[in-house]
Amino acid sequence: MSPNYIRSFSEGCLRPPTVIGQFHTLFFGSIRMFFLGVLGFAVYGNEALHFSCDPDKREVNLFCYNQFRPITPQVFWALQLVIVLVPGAFFHLYAACKSIKQEDILQNSSYTGFYIFSVFLRIVLEVVSFWLQIQLFGFKVNAIYMCDVGALEKTFNITRCMVPEHFEKTIFLIAMYTFTVITVILCVAEIFEISCRRLGFLKTQ
């Protein structure tokens, strides 16, 4: 791929053809990623080390933590951010290869339809991620986790585990849910903006 294609691709990703799309890029690329990268590490970085069960043995702690966290929240949210970016990145790669200018996307019906489809895919992926997050993490992190350790062939089957900083994690969960909802709203608003521009209610840039 030539440098011109790379430059066009990067400009397309950073400056989508709609005002709301540009705001979505700012929100998604700066606020959401900063929140996850900086605060997420602070909240979840040492969770496995501070997760303790009764009896406080390494094998029990490790077994129960893997049961408590089938996937760590940081990994899940990082995968979510990457996957949600794929439809838009694919469209802008296509636009760069076809030498399509950003201002021409809303002028051509086929380009507009392709772009709307990429935005719709972002909505679907965000909704699926929202549902998966509910299944994996719920809406609240409890201070005590009851772990089933029967597979370890112990004399006991259920043990109590202490979850560190559970209140902070609950707040972080709510924040990530909120970010997902805001992103979906922005995507819906972007489709609405494109429709208004195509119908002549808004002046095309």
Of residues 42 and 65, more confidence is placed in: 65
Kindly state the helix (H) or strand (E) to which residue 143 belongs, with its residue range. none
133 has a pLDDT exceeding 60: yes
C-alpha distance from residue 183 to each of 9, 98, 103, 158 (Å):
22, 28, 23, 40
* Cα 125 from chain centre: 9
| Per-residue pLDDT tens digits for 12-52 | 555 677 788 878 777 776 777 777 777 777 777 778 888 88
When pLDDT is cut at 50, 70 and 90, the band that residue 131 belongs to is: very high
Structural domains present in the chain: 3-9+20-204 (1.20.1440.80)
Closest C-alpha to 25, from 117, 111, 92, 78 = 92
Across the chain, what does the average pLDDT equal? 81
Instruction: Determine the average pLDDT of the residues in 90-110.
Output: 77
Query: How far does the chain reach from its first CA to its final CA, in angstroms?
Result: 28
The whole-number pLDDT of residue 81 equals 85
| Angle formed by the axes of helices 109-137 and 166-199, nearest 10° | 160
Q: Which residues pair with 52 in a beta bridge?
A: 162
Greatest distance between any 2 Cα atoms in the chain:
73
